[in-house]
Amino acid sequence: MALWGRPAVRSLRRWGPGGGRRPIAFSAGVSGILGNGGSSKKEKLSLQDIAELIRSRACQRVVVMVGAGISTPSGIPDFRSPGSGRYSNLQQYDIPYPEAIFELSFFLYNPKPFLSLAKKLYPGNHRPNVTHYFLRLLHDKGQLLRLYTQNIDGLERASGIPASKLVEAHGSFASATCTVCRRTAPGEDFWADVLGDRVPCCPVCSGIMKPDIVFFGESLPERFLLHVVDFPTADLLLILGTSLQVEPFASLSEAVRSSVPRLLMNRDMVGPLAWRPRSRDVVQLGDLVHSVERLVELLGWTEEMKDLVRRETGKVTGCDK
């Protein structure tokens, strides 16, 4: 499904002369990183440079793309890793092939396999980790323009990032819709049935209630169209824990202007950053939590991060008593 095109992106660019943006005075170091240091030579950026752009507030419209890799430290397997991914461990469910568990036609025929899987994803079973809280801190500092997530686990919401800052590209369990009459209901009603091992049914027509996550062949949520405005106006793109294999999400990594730095923190080199890199790309491969902790350290946010995690952990502990 072609939800976006370059002509549409170009037509919505808001970075003309003046642009209504308040001028910011940068240090010589930041000016050099931004390409305003008087030299025509484009130097390779580093993680330290990205940290300086954020710390100095030279970048105040940060767009973030995340995938299943940010949630694996919270105990949620991704889908595609050989051996450990969910697609490799679906033998326990009565399904003809792994992808069937996310096919609408199979769900309508037999919703129980999906509901069994959904029960394992119940928000109360898992907690946000350091990556989620780093993004929350970025929001608290007023620098997060939008967070685009492929995840359906709800941990971005659980970390305290407001829904207005989220684009849940593959939907969420926050609400559910009847597959027959299209009546909507809050996610709490859906979970009450799932946790009680019941198939959620519509109280009006008795149709099956399906959570508002995107199954194969379904359209992406309308909020996904925010990318037409967000990416052309972004001044920094962070890409964390994603294989960049699923379209149209993956192609968004190329929707920022060519002058905008892109930071990839991931286990492997992926997507357009691997086969069509740009001069201002920064790549940090390896363990994602370690990479994020290193960035937080370079930003000088370590103590703030610890305080945030303590506060949020305290809230969860208080609710569990």
Q: What is the pTM of this model?
A: 0.83
The tens digit of pLDDT for each residue in 256-299 reads 999 999 999 999 999 999 999 999 999 999 999 999 999 999 99
Query: What are the angstrom distances between the C-alpha of 312 and each of 3, 73, 131, 153?
Result: 36, 17, 14, 18
Report the percentage of the chain scoring pLDDT > 90. Answer: 69
| Residue 304 clears pLDDT 90, i.e. is over it | yes
Percent of residues in the chain assigned helix, strand, coil, to nearest 5: 40, 15, 45
Is 170 annotated in the active site? yes
- pLDDT at residue number 145: 98
Where does the pLDDT of residue 111 fall: very low under 50, low under 70, confident under 90, or very high at 90 and above? very high
- For residues 49 and 47, give the distance between their C-alpha atoms in angstroms, rounded to a whole number: 5
The 10s digit of each residue's pLDDT in 47-64 is: 999 999 999 999 999 999
Q: How confident is the model at residue 89 (pLDDT cuts 50, 70, 90)?
A: low
Task: Please tell me which residue in 139, 170, 227, 290 is annotated as part of the active site.
Answer: 170
Helices (H) and strands (E) in the chain, counts: 12, 9
Asked if pLDDT for residue 314 goes beyond 50, the answer is: yes
Q: Are 238 and 231 in contact (CB under 8 A)?
A: no
Mention every residue, 6+ apart, whose C-beta is less than 8 A from residue 187: 172, 173, 174, 175, 176, 211
Radius of gyration of the chain (CA): 21
Q: How far apart are CA 125 and CA 117, in angstroms?
A: 13
237/85: higher pLDDT: 237
- Name the burial class of residue 246, with classes exposed (0-12), middle (13-18) and buried (19+) by CB atoms within 10 angstroms of its CB: middle
pLDDT of residue 88: 47
Q: In what order do the strands lie in the sheet with 184-186?
A: 184-186, 171-178, 209-213
Position 199 confidence tier, pLDDT thresholds 50, 70, 90: very high
- Is 265 in contact with 241 (CB distance < 8 Å)? yes
